Amino acid sequence: MTVTRPLQSEMAAWDGFFAAKESAVIAGTSKCREKRRSRGIMIITLKDGSKKEYDHAMSVIDIASDISEGLARMACAGEMDGQAVDLRTVVDSDCELSILTFQDEGGKAAFRHTASHIMAQAIKRLYPDAKLAIGPSVSDGFYYDIDREIPLTAEDLEKIEAEMKKIVKEGLPLERFELPREEAIAFMKEKEEPYKVELIEDLPKDAVISFYRQGEFTDLCAGPHLMTTKPVKAFKLTSLAGAYWRGSEKNKMLTRIYGTAFTKKADLEEHLARIEEAKKRDHRKLGKELGLFMMRDEGPGFPFFLPKGMVLKNTLLDYWREIHTKAGYVEISTPIMLSRHLWETSGHWDHYKENMYTTVIDEQDFAIKPMNCPGGILAYQSEPRSYRDLPLRMGELGLVHRHEKSGQLHGLMRVRCFTQDDAHIFMTPDQIRDEIKGVASLIDQVYSLFGFKYHVELSTRPEDSMGSDEDWEMATEALRGALDDLGLDYVVNEGDGAFYGPKIDFHLEDSIGRTWQCGTIQLDFQLPLRFELEYIGADGEKHRPIMIHRVAFGSIERFIGILIEHFAGAFPTWLSPIQVRVLAISDKYMDYGKKVLAELQEAGIRADMDTRAEKIGYKIREARLEKIPYMLVVGAKEEEEGLVSVRSRFLGDEGQKDLGGFITAIKEEIKSREIREVKAEEQK
């Protein structure tokens, strides 16, 4: 069993649990509102903007049935005035209402939350002594934390699944009810569920305490849930892990059972196949096998790049420099450690200190930089600036350090030390839209090169922010306007901006459908103000520049991890640490092989030669496992005619070719950064 340490996602699940309790207050007071409501017309505005009128209170499921019986069959939950609600919630006043199906995130969450209850019911049937903790839905499924004197094992999952199928077949209705606080505590004490008792005791005194009953099973829960267990037919319990109660290592270790659920068996099978494919592509596994990087206990969260990994990393950085030079950026480098007063001025000391590494030098506090922007600002201040100097695009491949909790570390995807491909653009107000468009175009160029699709999110002001309402509104509308000008589709992610300004995030999709947040554009009116940045305008007066923070790759290390998994380690030729391997059929042709190798290296091609005393078939298999794009096999005929026999990842055996012609062709492939389709058998 693996141990799940306190994760950000786990704590988010707790936050979600208590937030859901608050939503239950809203749902639970609907009956009171109905009594108060005077008779009249109730207008319901639907997701498509159409309106429905009713002269009496209606439950969400009844409204769904009135719209369409088909919609009612697919309904999983509702969303009323932006708040997720149960299908049983009574609507008694004008509102905006969406009926959520499995195609909606809220509907998917309700469906999978119901699946977690079905799993808990199955566990209690099979193991009555088991104590239940929490069982929320998560991004790709659900889990339930269980406490049992004899811990559940992987062998138990099959039994639990079989019992879940029985519960689904029974088609048990889920019934919601509420209890006063003391009755709720007594109810759970009677059921000998100490974790539920603790949860109730920690709820606010005025919280509505709700339960869901299905057959003989009752669980403390705010919902929302499906109407019955019947729709949950396609599910799978996927793994077991250890998880501390309430995410604290001071508490007892529980058994966490993970699962996932879909409305269709075909969708479940596709998801499980994608999980298996993801395991094969795991960048930690491939990184070790391909000799790219390693992680050591002596530096948890601090990656070591090995020689082949450095070739890959430097090739990416060369590309970064090339496209930024063409886009009018200048490159700078700023110190890795700067004094406390700088971070106080920037706001990081107050807003980000818990993630910063600090030290004391000559009785003065210093911090290792978690971000490059304050150093970039000092570079801007290095000389007087005129409006003629703007926009000033300053790029930096800066090494930053952030303290991440040990349980959050994950290969190259979540590290404590990484290279951020930052750029800071200083500009006048009338340059904002064009600069944002330029950055978006550059990010599109990068993602398109690697074959990534992507979607865009506009993130707005968070609760923990600085600056005036006017500045935030101006900044947000500038980003929104640029996206509209570009014709980019985007969704608004309320409250997820940086503390100093709103941002645009680019979420790329890899070859097996997973999404990753990499590129970002953040508009900042605050730091130029806090650092009193200036430029002389055309009027001869001093003005305050506006600043853009942006990354294309994001973290170079994380981007490499994504690329490893996206390409399954079979990088395009231009990125491959070794582009060509020379293989002599026997020692007799080793000299000719070395001559071929020398010509390849002279032409700037990354090539090596397998000189081991092994059979040629073995050497070819080894090269394939190392995912080398090209193998040049040489023997008697090749030496006699000055040829090479070409085998590639793309076409397999390509036959004999003139060495000069091969070099010309591969150099063109490298120069154009072409991504050739990999032969299916080479991907295995």
The catalytic residue positions are 373, 402, 420, 422, 424, 503, 549
Name, in order, each residue with C-beta under 8 angstroms of 183's C-beta and a sequence gap of 6 or more.
Answer: none
Can you spell out the DSSP letters for 172-186?
PBPEEEEE-HHHHHH
CB 220, CB 200: distance < 8 Å: yes
Q: Cβ of 364: how many Cβ atoms within 10 Å?
A: 10
Tokens of 224: 């929302």
- The gap between the terminal CA atoms of the chain, to the nearest Å, is 28
C-alpha pair distances (Å), 220 with each of 117, 264, 648: 10, 28, 59
Which of these, 427, 337, 408, 330, lies nearest to 374 by C-alpha position? 337
Rg (the chain; Cα; Å): 30
CB 183, CB 177: distance < 8 Å: no
Can you spell out the DSSP letters for 352-392?
SGGG--EEEETTEEEEE-S-SHHHHHHHHTTS--BGGG-SE
- Which ranges constitute the DSSP H helices of 390-468? 432-449
- Residue 534: strand, helix, or coil: coil
- Residue 239: strand, helix, or coil: strand
Distance from C-alpha of 547 to C-alpha of 426, rounded to nearest angstrom: 5
C-alpha pair distances (Å), 91 with each of 22, 55, 97, 100, 552: 17, 11, 9, 15, 46
Which of these, 106, 84, 98, lies nearest to 27 by C-alpha position? 84
CB 20, CB 222: distance < 8 Å: yes
Can you spell out the DSSP letters for 458-522?
EE---SS--S-HHHHHHHHHHHHHHHHHHT--EEEETT-SBTTB-EEEEEEE-TTS-EEEEEEEE
Can you spell out the DSSP letters for 557-587?
HHHHHHHHHHTTT---TTT-S--EEEEESSG
Tokens of 673: 């950064």
Distance from C-alpha of 451 to C-alpha of 673, rounded to nearest angstrom: 11
Specify the residue for token string 């590494």. 357
Specify the residue for token string 């889920």. 174
Tokens of 667: 């150099």
> Left if phi > 0, otherwise alpha if psi is -120 to 50, otherwise beta: which for 86?
beta
State phi, psi for 521 to the nearest 5 degrees.
-130, 120
Q: Which amino acid is at 583?
A: L
Can you spell out the DSSP letters for 88-120?
TPEE-S-EEEEEE-TTSHHHHHHHHHHHHHHHH
Distance from C-alpha of 258 to C-alpha of 161, rounded to nearest angstrom: 12
